[in-house]
Structure 1
Amino acid sequence: MPRLLRPLLVALLLIAPTAFAEALYQVELIVFRQADKAVHASQPAPEDWAGNAAAIPAERERSPALTDTAAKLEGSQGYRVLLHKAWQQGVGTSPAPLRFATGKQSDGHFPVEGVLDLTQGRQLELNLQTWVNQFNGDGFLTSSERLQIQRRLIPGQLTYLDHPSLGALIRVSPL
């Protein structure tokens, strides 16, 4: 009988790490303008801005908890909140980027769009790309601002991400 259990035990050991490697987190992101004058990227957002990133499933979207923080930003001189979203996201050792956007789509782009990727190794790693787009009167993309950040995060801590004309606040909390 033990001879039959060995292959089963080995199979379970090989499958178990991948099954338990992913943890569920609550992600909340605020993107805001922090300067009166935009600092445009050398090129507008690419046509395939989302790449292979999946959309945030509707059942994973959550009500934002940092509403007081967003309201303080809106009330401050020179700051304007452009995007405020919250969702649940599984985080593992392999990249699994999610795309987010807000506003009305025009010319294949949104006023604010981006890709967020979290991976869990020894630490929680963030890779964030966000574009704030401007459109002409005909609805065609004319220019973009780009916020691109790679950073280690401390779970549960509100983290500020800086850019000359944009900023972001993110909190990633384990569930």
Structure 2
Amino acid sequence: MLRLLRPLLVSLLLIAPAAFAEALYQVELIVFRQAEKAVPASQPAPEDWAGKAAALPATAQRSPALTGEAEKLAAKGYQVLLHQAWQQDVTGSPAAVRFSTGKERDGHFPVEGVLDLAQGRQLELKLTTWVNRFNAEGFLAGSERLQIARRLIPGQLTYLDHPSLGALIRVSPL
């Protein structure tokens, strides 16, 4: 009997890590201005700001759940620049997606960024967000950049700090 079970146990052990290697999460991101004066980045957002990050398909978009938090920020005088939610598969290797809001001008958006999530022993986040300023002709004149790498606790609302910008993010398993 043990001889028959041994191959079955070995195959289950080989299959099990693959089953847990990918998980589905709901990601919700709020980017806001927390200072009256912008702190510009040393260089504006690069031409290829998204790199190889995948665009979010329309089917991945979700209704934001953190509307109460966004309203509290606005009531306290913060300017909410972006509030988006989406569904995303997260694997052991980084899964970069790009996000943006506003009208595209000169290949850039008023707010644009790349969010990288990877699930290992912990949930790892890499976030780069640019808040762009355009001149009268519609060309990119300058940017602010919020760049953070952090471990997240799934389901917990996390505050990400910057001298003139801030972000709230919650990544919840589905």
| TM-score between both structures, scaled by the size of structure 2 | 0.91
Among all aligned residue pairs of Structure 1 and Structure 2, give the percentage whose two residues are the same amino acid. Answer: 78
Alignment gaps of 5+ in structure 1: none
Could you tell me how far 1:13 is from its partner in structure 2? 6.4
Where do residues 119-138 of structure 1 align in structure 2 (5 Å cutoff)? 119-138=118-137
* Aligned equivalent of 1:68: 68
* 2: CA distance, partners of 1:48 / 1:99: 11
Note the C-alpha offset of 1:172. Answer: 0.5
1:53 — aligned with what? 53
CA distance in 2: counterparts of 1:9 and 1:138, whole angstroms? 66
Query: How far off is 1:75 after superposition?
Result: 1.1
Q: Provide the residue aligned with 1:85 in structure 2.
A: 84
Aligned residues: 170
- Residue matched to 1:38: 38
- Which moves more between the two structures, 11-20 or 42-51? 11-20
Q: What CA distance in whole angstroms lies between the structure 1 residues aligned with 2:148 and 2:10?
A: 40
Q: What's 1:110 paired with? A: 109
Counterpart Cα distance in 2 of 1:120 and 1:22: 8
CA offsets per residue over residues 120-167 of structure 1, 9 Å max, x none? Answer: 111100000000000001100000000000000001100000000000
Q: TM-score, normalised by structure 1?
A: 0.91
AA partner of residue 151 (structure 1): R
Counterpart-to-counterpart distance in 1, 2:19 and 2:55: 22
Distance 1:137 1:164 in 2: 26
What stretches of structure 1 move > 6 A for 4+ residues in a row? Answer: 8-13
